[in-house]
């Protein structure tokens, strides 16, 4: 057996080195953890905005004033609503630079303004983008105080979803008023700049439910291109009557009987409104007509995907300190 004797002095020195190493690591993690976690999509600030917001510039870090002919940093914190969905293909661009110019920017893409790409951002996540800007020389602004509100615009791929309960009432139940009242509006699952509204009142056996589907965009920005709509329902329970005539294509059918219909619409100034006739499947129709069941209910789901763009201004003014020549 080999016995190793460690002196107290050596042990104390090793302990101090270990403590110092741990303290250095702790400080580095404290300072840089947000940046590291953001880079791998894990940093979350639990940003929770209004139901009509998806991805926004939630805060800005920048000096309030700079001297002529100097470089300075501006960091825009891009945040995704914790009540929304994951965002993809995010493009952030600076605008309205005035006499300022861009010294460097991360992941620059082509275009008239300096832009950066963020591939994706989880719900509740925040990703910082830092730009290095250059202040103009004093001669560029006639040697007088000068300020500029920097602008930006952000474009991203996003989605919203909602669900709606449908109810079919038998003739006997309708005549005897023997069925419970149901909610006539949907319950929403996610926040986003395109709001989904639905209305579907109970109908008597033999008729279609006229599902009213409305889409409206947050007026603080605009939808770039069409809104793609998916309507998912259990085919064992419901059918979308005249789907092809309404512009819907059957795009997917699952082994459990769920089917997905898809269409695309462009939103006008007042949004878009669709009326979808939903009927009972033959087997459910037979069940409702031949038994004592007074009513049948079931849920359908609506989801949208789109590209949204929003403009804004950095919420600070960059003031160049007046330059005096000796």
Q: Please state, for a pLDDT cut of 70, what percent of the chain lies above it.
A: 77
Region 146-171: what's the mean pLDDT? 88
In tens, the pLDDT along 202-217 reads 888 888 999 999 999 9
Return d(Cα 131, Cα 71) in angstroms, integer: 10
- Residues 260 and 250 sit within 8 Å (Cβ to Cβ): yes
Return d(Cα 222, Cα 195) in angstroms, integer: 12
In tens, the pLDDT along 61-76 reads 888 788 888 899 999 9
Region 112-135: what's the mean pLDDT? 88
Return d(Cα 167, Cα 205) in angstroms, integer: 10
In tens, the pLDDT along 256-312 reads 889 999 999 999 988 999 999 999 988 888 888 877 788 888 889 999 999 999 988
Tell me the whole-structure pTM to 2 decimals.
Answer: 0.78
Domains and CATH numbers, the chain: 158-309 (2.60.40)
Burial of 300 (0-12, 13-18, 19+ CB in 10 A): buried
Average pLDDT score, the chain: 80
pLDDT value for 55:
95
pLDDT value for 79:
94
**Quick check: 41 pLDDT over 50?**
no
């Amino acid at each position: 057996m080999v016995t190793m004797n460690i002196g107290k002095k050596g042990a104390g020195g090793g302990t101090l080195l270990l403590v110092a190493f741990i303290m250095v690591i702790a400080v580095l993690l404290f300072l840089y953890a947000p940046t590291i976690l953001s880079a791998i999509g894990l940093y979350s600030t639990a940003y929770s905005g209004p139901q009509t917001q998806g991805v926004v510039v939630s805060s800005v870090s920048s000096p309030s004033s700079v001297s002529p002919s100097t470089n300075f940093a501006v960091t825009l914190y891009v945040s995704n609503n914790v009540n929304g969905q994951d965002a993809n293909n995010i493009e952030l661009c600076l605008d309205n630079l005035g006499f300022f110019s861009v010294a460097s920017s991360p992941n620059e893409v082509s275009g008239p303004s300096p832009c950066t790409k963020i591939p994706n951002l989880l719900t509740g996540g925040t990703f910082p983008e830092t730009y290095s800007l250059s202040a103009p020389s004093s001669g560029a602004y006639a040697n007088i105080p000068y300020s500029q509100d920097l602008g930006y615009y952000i474009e991203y791929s996003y989605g919203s979803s909602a669900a709606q309960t449908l109810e079919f009432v038998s003739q006997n139940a309708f005549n005897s008023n023997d069925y419970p009242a149901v909610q006539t509006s949907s319950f929403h699952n996610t926040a986003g700049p395109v709001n989904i509204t639905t209305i579907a009142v109970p109908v008597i056996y033999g008729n279609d439910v006229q599902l009213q589907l409305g889409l409206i965009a947050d007026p603080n920005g605009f939808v770039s291109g069409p809104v793609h709509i998916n309507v998912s329902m259990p085919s064992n329970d419901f059918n979308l009557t005249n789907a092809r005539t309404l512009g819907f294509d059957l795009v997917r059918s699952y082994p459990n009987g769920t089917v997905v219909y898809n269409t695309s619409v462009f939103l006008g100034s007042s949004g878009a409104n669709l009326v979808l006739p939903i009927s009972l499947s033959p087997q459910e129709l037979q069940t409702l007509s031949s038994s004592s069941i007074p009513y049948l209910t079931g849920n359908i789901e609506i989801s949208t995907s789109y590209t949204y763009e929003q403009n804004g201004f950095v919420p600070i003014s960059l003031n160049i300190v007046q330059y005096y020549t000796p």
